Amino acid sequence: MAAGTSNYWEDLRKQARQLENELDLKLVSFSKLCTSYSHSSARDGRRDRYSSDTTPLLNGSSQDRMFETMAIEIEQLLARLTGVNDKMAEYTNSAGVPSLNAALMHTLQRHRDILQDYTHEFHKTKANFMAIRERENLMGSVRKDIESYKSGSGVNNRRTELFLKEHDHLRNSDRLIEETISIAMATKENMTSQRGMLKSIQSKMNTLANFPKIVFLL
């Protein structure tokens, strides 16, 4: 194998190893981001139960932006590593030396396996992150609906309470008015009866006044 082609192969292997190292670090950070997103969402859920004015240090929006940025970076690294592996495959096909070609193919297969593992890990972590985010968004929406319902129920309950109090007040007022009217009617009837009795007595006295003898005898 010529020195130039050997150097080319070693250069490709060097590029592959460098990209693999970068991918390994990125995937570790990517996995931690996914885990921290789940834990922070759980903490936020507990905060919402006890306090409505606390703000997490790293909210979901910031983590979403980090997720998008890291996903793009990893996809770019995977694409670059795929390109290097393709160049290595072309080189092994054109080497022309069977013994060396077998060794090169073995090395290439190792790099392909690493690429496949990293690709699988990336898609798995990405899918997990998106599933967690979707679940937390759904739970957050449910929590907001519950809080909204509670707030609305509180207002409605207060309004209902005020309405019932006003209704009771009106009923008490009506009862007092009815009692006052009843008392007035009874008083009127009593006074009418008394006037009738007085008129009867007065009429009898007038009749007696017309009979002086009888009065004298009495």
Q: Where are the domains of the chain?
A: 3-48+56-158
Burial of 107: CB neighbours in 10 Å, binned 0-12, 13-18, 19+: middle
Query: So what's the pLDDT on residue 213?
Result: 52
Which token pair is 208?
Answer: 């007696």
pTM above 0.95, yes or no: no
CATH placement of domain 3-48+56-158: 1.20.58
What would the mean pLDDT of 1-7 be, rounded to a whole number? 62
C-alpha to C-alpha distance for 139 and 136, rounded to whole angstroms: 5
- DSSP per-residue codes, 116-184: HHHHHHHHHHHHHHHHHHHHHHHHHHHHHHHHHHHHHHHHHHHHHHHHHHHHHHHHHHHHHHHHHHHHH
Q: Could you tell me if residue 96 is left (phi over 0), alpha (psi between -120 and 50 degrees) or otherwise beta?
A: left
What would the mean pLDDT of 190-203 be, rounded to a whole number? 68
Over the stretch 63-118, which tens digit does the pLDDT of each residue have?
Answer: 888 889 999 999 999 999 999 999 999 888 875 655 567 888 899 999 999 999 99
CA 217 to chain centre: 108
Has residue 217 got a pLDDT over 50? no
Query: So what's the pLDDT on residue 109?
Result: 93
Which residues 6+ apart lie within 8 Å of 73 measured at CB? Answer: 26
Q: How far from 104 is each of 69, 73, 87, 171, CA to CA, in Å?
A: 35, 29, 12, 99
Amino acid identity at 216: F
Query: So what's the pLDDT on residue 72?
Result: 95
C-alpha to C-alpha distance for 72 and 192, rounded to whole angstroms: 102
